[in-house]
Amino acid sequence: MPRIVHKAQPSWFGFPLTVKNGVNRLELIRWLEASNIETRLIFAGNILRQPAFKNIRYRVQGQLKESDRVMNDTFFIGVYPGLTKPMLDFVIERSISFLKHKKLI
């Protein structure tokens, strides 16, 4: 779950989700978008894999496995203060429906 760092005042625009256990992120995003549930990819993840960094010198500490994981497996579902319980329940229902459709649960 996302955590608020001490003294931070975040303005939440999306709820991050990271897929695992064989879930295809693109298929899930398409499923949700087909149900009018807006999603957004995370900009960068491992920013060193972005074309803008192709010719820039940099130093890397470790293999950046988690950065790659965020880049490949994470996305946002849009949020705002006006979301109601039925709206949230709909997102949950559509997500569970996807997992059942793919026989992942």
CATH number, position 59? 3.90.1150.10
Instruction: Give, as one character, the DSSP assignment of residue 68.
Output: H
**Is residue 46, in this structure, part of any structural domain at all?**
yes
- Would you say residue 66 lies in a domain? yes
What was the pLDDT predicted at 96?
A: 96
Residue 6 in any domain: the answer is no
DSSP one-letter code for 62: S
The answer to whether position 75 is within a domain reads: yes
Domain presence at residue 8: no
Domains in the chain: how many in total? 1
3 in a domain, yes or no?
Answer: no
Cβ atoms < 10 Å from Cβ of 3? 7
Parent domain of 89: 14-101
Q: Is residue 4 part of a domain?
A: no
Residues 6 or more apart whose Cβ sits within 8 Å of residue 7:
none
pLDDT value at residue 102: 93
* pLDDT at position 64 over 80: yes
**pTM greater than 0.85 (yes/no):** no
Does residue 24 have a pLDDT over 80?
yes
